[in-house]
Amino acid sequence: MAKIVACVCTSHVPAIGAALDNGKTQEPYWQRVFGGYEKSKEWIEKVKPDVCIVVFNDHATAFSVDVVPTFALGCAAEYTPADEGWGPRPVPVVHGHPELAAHIAQSVILDEFDLTIVNKMDVDHGLTVPLSLMFGQPKEWPCQIIPLAVNVVLYPPPTGKRCYNLGKAIRKAVESYPEDLRVVIFGTGGMSHQISGPRAGLINSDFDKAFLDALATDPQKAVDIKHIEYMREAGAEGIEMVMWLVARGAMDEKVNEIYRFYTVPASNTAVGHLILENASA
Amino acid sequence: MEKPKKEYEDIPGTTVFDADQSRKGYGINMFCMSLLKAENRTAFKADEAGYLKAYNLTPEQTDAILKRDWNGMLALGGNIYFTSKLGATDGLSFQQVAAKMTGATQQEYADMMLAGGRSVEGNRSKSEWEHKNG
């Protein structure tokens, strides 16, 4: 039986990818960010997931304004790193797990979560930066990846509650897959940031830290946060944090906090990172 | 019946990209999307006004793009994840585009971020900005 063994939440700031790709990781500004992921890299090397489900958002890369799916599950065999305007990131092609993805799609849709199924999608920094933070710069990513793209670009994104419940449905789907697979689920994006308009640069560390606490000890508190509160308190783009709730929903209510990291800033954004394992495991 | 007011319109210095905005800014955003291809970036740089003709833009939208009026593009329906591709075409990072929208210099903006960013205090609602600006 496949099993979700942990959840990893992390920001996916594009400048982090650029710093890594351009060899700036040792500069003090970036050392402060990358240093926070050293323990995480050691941890995931021990956990050795077979598959990572990465909940992320596309930033007007695979999806234009022609079609904006709320939840889109990648069922392809591979995904090419996208050219987002600066040229593609020099990172390995992402290999999917089409069989497990198809199984998840079937299970959660019949569970009344109406996903869009994607058979071709270039993946942008939303997906590749978290992989780089957790796995460094390998020649090949060490596991298969199932991307789950959540719309957080065109308001309104799905609610926190919807995301959390989708996480529960994904867990049920994974646990009904017959092959023995170790699965880690990533929730990415956030934390507080606003990159648009005259209010750009907004950071709210109190909000972020309360959100991290809630995920670790009282997820319902985070689930109850309304969109207006994310946007007002954590910046227009801080609403990305709903994606962390998909990952959190796939875990037990009681979890052990394995690791936490928080720093301000990376470019325009507060960087938050949390690793949780089920208390029952 | 009058359309209900959107509660997020009260957030200062912020244009929320919703379905109304995305319809209005379809041309801006699809133009920006085209810049994901290197050959299109080259063609646009070679003849900006000519290139824009294919995108069914209003004169205001065309003007905002040509003048790199980043806030203007958002007001006219652009979204930052799209307009940042125009920034990328100009060689600008997300942070450099963000700085321009706040009216700060790149250095001032970078310093503000290093010092912990813009505080939420005084920046939650439009009434606070009106108060601030006297």
CB A196 within 8 A of CB B101: yes
* Per-residue pLDDT at A92: 98
The reply to whether B44 touches chain A by the CB within 8 Å rule is: no
Give yes or no: A125 in active site: yes
A197: nearest CB among B71, B93, B109: B71
pLDDT at residue number B17: 98
Residue-range domains of chain B with CATH: 16-133 (1.10.700.10)
The beta-carbon neighbor of A198 closest among B82, B85, B102 is B102
Q: Does B79 touch chain A (CB under 8 A)?
A: yes
Per-residue tokens: A210: 């309360």
Measured between CA atoms, the residue of chain B closest to residue A32 is: B114
Please compute, for residue A34, the number of CA atoms within 13 A of its CA located in the half-sphere on the CB side: 22
What local confidence, expressed as pLDDT, does residue B10 receive?
96
Question: Which one is catalytic: A59, A97, A103, A193?
Answer: A193
Burial (CB count <10 Å: 0-12, 13-18, 19+), residue A178: exposed
CA distance B97 to A157: 24
Pick B85's closest partner by Cβ from A18, A85, A197. Answer: A85
Q: What is the crossing angle of helices A125-135 and A14-21, to 10°?
A: 50
Residue-by-residue pLDDT tens, chain A, 281 positions? 999 999 999 999 999 999 999 999 999 999 999 999 999 999 999 999 999 999 999 999 999 999 999 999 999 999 999 998 878 999 999 999 999 999 999 999 999 999 999 999 999 999 999 999 999 999 999 999 999 999 999 999 999 999 999 999 999 999 999 999 999 999 999 999 999 999 999 999 999 999 999 999 999 999 999 999 999 999 999 999 999 999 999 999 999 999 999 999 999 999 999 999 998 86
pLDDT score at B1:
75
Residue at token pair 């041309």: B27
pTM: 0.97
A267 close contact with B: CB closer than 8 A: yes
CB atoms near residue A27 (< 10 Å): 13
Taking only the tens place, the pLDDT of each residue in B102-112 is 999 999 999 99
Whether B102 and chain A come into contact, CB under 8 Å, resolves to: yes
Kindly report the nearest CA distance between residue B116 and chain A, in angstroms.
Answer: 6
pLDDT score for B133: 61
**pLDDT for the residue A117:** 98
pLDDT < 50: residue spans in chain B: none
Closest CA to A29 of A274, A204, A271, A272: A271
Q: Nearest-CA distance from B35 to chain A in Å?
A: 6
A95 is catalytic: no
* A14 vs B: CB within 8 A: yes
pLDDT for residue A259: 98
